[in-house]
Structure 1
């Protein structure tokens, strides 16, 4: 792959599985380079292990090339809020290269913010995510799948600060049209209505077409809501069907469901989030990632505290989902 660093076969030792999805598996590994070893995450396209159909192989190669090209585009200028890309790992000549990035031991942003031994600065996290998305958009990249699971946490060894980094460019596209959409399944809690309406369209390029800066900003608003309140969007709706119906009826999240009034900046935060959704208007009416970033920087005051478990239980009307507190690394790749 032109312009991409190729990591030679044998230099990475795969260790344990840390995630995966419909197209790939992700492993932790150790990369030895010039007598120095680094912990890495390795994304392996599983279909290549036993895939003989030339058309499917061609499609998978196209998907890989698209993800690599988009990730490279996103890092055309290094940015602290975008996960670095080390290169492609040439395991052997019979399979597609794997994608290699740093291993983030702190996990994704949900794992980090619900950890018992952290008191997250949610203001810093929110501004970091918005900054990262603004950087992508400034470089002509639409992420297409911004969720909390796709925001990893890097702990700065010098300051101890938690730095959010946007990851997983498997659904991203470059605005000149070189992105590729496959058979996509979107997370209803974070996806814009126009994306969900088209996600079951057999003509995948139409699905790709609705992925835009505007749909990214919708997702940004939902992710920030989750990070700030500690509750996922629409916490009282338990099924995807209920969420889709709510979106069809143009029902946005309710402040009372997220205990925003208990946060020192609650009354200021909610209107900012609404600018990301504009649920009663066209997608083009939504604010930009830059507008969102500037608004949050200008309006934050005081420290956002983390809601207690009693408050969370009261907000959702059921015991707190203990799965949010599970230990172990949560991969951004699905």
Structure 2
């Protein structure tokens, strides 16, 4: 297919790639081939034990022979299998490390894919049908992004459709396969289909979820017009078009389409990731708006290759211009007479009006337009707009994808971090925040506003600097903000930072000031400081005060302190209250440990399982040990393996011992080596207390 890069394995192996019906892969018996692509083929197959059919994705044999691909595929399969969403094809199982083939078993979807729909309607699908399909795909993609998974190959062939009682539903498939195979292609190192690939992937820039937004935009264009956005004849010209050609108008191919779709396509296919929609759902919402709210859409051709429609300044008192602004806003579902009037003032250079227009757009979810207006006001010197632009950039910066189930994502600095014991520190963060352009720009705007005396900007700048590891600069800005207005959250964060820097006396003073101002997080952390120097009675009193006010961190700390004192019933009660309140995985894990020690094994198992399914590796390991202890070795093996693949050494050893016990010595030896232990029983993982 024009525009595809075909991996070398496919061209080398040619016709030998297809497996015959009746062949067995991973115990599944193949009954028929459903389709094939650049990476492998999909077969309808019978489950080896259950009376049901599955869709079995089998990669071509050459991939299985490459150790790098096997490792990458195993990593991606672990992430993919964790995705549970109604618009993502469910993954049931995957190959074992020693299997000949690399495969995934999935729920079969009966209705074909979007590529088949395009072939059946080559002039483009009904726009409202397209909008519904894009909404489904966007929901699945955003769920994956929130869970740290990029698709990397969004295209019509990877979106399946099926009829349901409530209508047609779209499902995403083939998550992460492109990433696992990126090491096996030539030239660009990009395995995804070129016609839908974001330009930053060719430029070897950092890639985040907005690459999937771009690909979904290309898919949208294809569904609407029957053609990919850039109609080229060879891979080199396709890459060049993505890198340099402006996004085309779908109405050049299908003039009857709503005019506002030009703006949607232009935004989704922006060359600069920060100028695209911040989420796939934001793209989908704008598509729906474009095809369902077109009564007042402009009758003239909408300008191609612009971020937002241009608003012409009007003379004072020109009510016709106000009306025209109102019609345009109504076509975008943003109609508000006050906003139309503000637009006129903003167009004439009123920076306060520009800032208010930005706020109105942001409140309606029109983030691209909000950035434009904030930036205009900020460049003209409006400090409030500088602050608002910084917050918008920071809050919608790309998520830093967790490298494992146990990784963390920094809390956005625009939010008050008073509900956690301490904000994420540079010492514990797993991501390099200095490499994210939005955060660098946000920092610059915060500095400009902070230097002009904006205390909110001082606070947000301090939080951002702290997350980046610039602790001295962060401390200085916290102090300036605290001295200027004495906000409890500022004093609380300053106390936390000083504690981490070893300045315990000052930390205690700031925590006391914040606690006296009513900050429950400061009350709890003041208790932590006092408990650390042995003042358990006062610490317990502070914990109880914050816990009764609803602070879940204080509940955890109080439970841990009571557990150490041997007051197990009271400790159990506070663990339960904290777990029920916020479902923190460490709370659930600690509660499981306490219940197990008290002989309540059934409840312990439930809490371990709750913590394990949200990624707590200690809970995975402890759950495996509990299950193994009562003879459920298969389930125990699964949990040991889940914990082991993300680095839990105790789970590696226990998995090795379990495998060795049933004679699988080679696999056992591998896990022993990975744990760097042999014949040494692991110590129980400590309870990760918050004291």
> Which TM-score band (shorter chain)?
0.5 to 0.7
The answer to whether the 8 Å contact 2:36/2:42 transfers is yes
1:195-214 alignment runs, 5 A limit: 195-198=201-204, 210-214=206-210
Query: How far, CA to CA, are the matches of 2:75 and 2:145 in structure 1?
Result: 17
Q: Does 2:140 align with 1:132? A: yes
The answer to whether the 8 Å contact 1:141/1:172 transfers is no
Residue 192 (structure 1) aligns with? 198
Report the structure number with the largest CA radius of gyration: 2
The answer to whether the 8 Å contact 2:45/2:56 transfers is yes
Normalized per residue, the structure richer in strand is 1
Q: Given the superposition, is the C-alpha separation of residues 42 and 48 from structure 1 closer, same or farther in structure 2, using an over 3 Å criterion?
A: same
Q: CA RMSD in A?
A: 3.1
TM-superposition CA deviations, 1:148-171 (whole Å, max 9, x none): 111111222x34x22111110244
1:31 Cα offset (Å): 2.5
TM-score (norm 1): 0.67
TM-score (norm 2): 0.34
The answer to whether the 8 Å contact 1:190/1:223 transfers is yes
Q: Given the superposition, is the C-alpha separation of residues 285 and 228 from structure 1 closer, same or farther in structure 2, using an over 3 Å criterion?
A: same
Query: How far, CA to CA, are the matches of 1:98 and 1:245 in structure 2?
Result: 34
Residue 324 (structure 1) aligns with? none
Query: How far, CA to CA, are the matches of 1:97 and 1:239 in structure 2?
Result: 30
1:12-161 alignment runs, 5 A limit: 12-21=28-37, 23-31=39-47, 33-34=49-50, 36-38=51-53, 40-47=54-61, 51=65, 56=66, 58-73=67-82, 75=83, 78-88=84-94, 94-96=99-101, 98-115=103-120, 121-156=129-164, 158-159=165-166, 161=167
Residue 296 (structure 1) aligns with? 287
Where does structure 1 lack aligned partners over 5 or more consecutive residues? Answer: 1-7, 174-178, 199-208, 304-334
The answer to whether the 8 Å contact 2:76/2:177 transfers is yes
TM-superposition CA deviations, 1:55-113 (whole Å, max 9, x none): x3x3232122122122123x1xx3121111111256x9552452101222321112134
Residue 249 (structure 2) aligns with? 254
Q: Given the superposition, is the C-alpha separation of residues 257 and 239 from structure 1 closer, same or farther in structure 2, using an over 3 Å criterion?
A: farther
Q: Given the superposition, is the C-alpha separation of residues 269 and 143 from structure 1 closer, same or farther in structure 2, using an over 3 Å criterion?
A: same
TM-superposition CA deviations, 1:174-201 (whole Å, max 9, x none): xxxxx78423333222111111233xxx
Q: Given the superposition, is the C-alpha separation of residues 23 and 269 from structure 1 closer, same or farther in structure 2, using an over 3 Å criterion?
A: closer
1:296 Cα offset (Å): 2.8
Q: Does 2:275 align with 1:285? A: yes
Q: Which moved more, 1:60-69 or 1:213-222?
A: 60-69
Query: How far, CA to CA, are the matches of 2:173 and 2:243 in structure 1?
Result: 29
Query: How far, CA to CA, are the matches of 1:48 and 1:112 in structure 2?
Result: 31
1:47 Cα offset (Å): 2.8
1:125 Cα offset (Å): 0.9
Instruction: Give the number of the structure with larger relative contact order, counting CA–CA contacts within 8 Å between residues 6 or more apart.
Output: 1
Residue 268 (structure 2) aligns with? 276
Q: Does 2:237 align with 1:242? A: yes
The answer to whether the 8 Å contact 2:64/2:100 transfers is no
TM-superposition CA deviations, 1:2-61 (whole Å, max 9, x none): xxxxxx987532023334455533322233644x322x221223337984xxxx3x3232
Where does structure 2 lack aligned partners over 5 or more consecutive residues? Answer: 1-23, 185-189, 295-691
The answer to whether the 8 Å contact 1:67/1:172 transfers is no
Normalized per residue, the structure richer in helix is 2
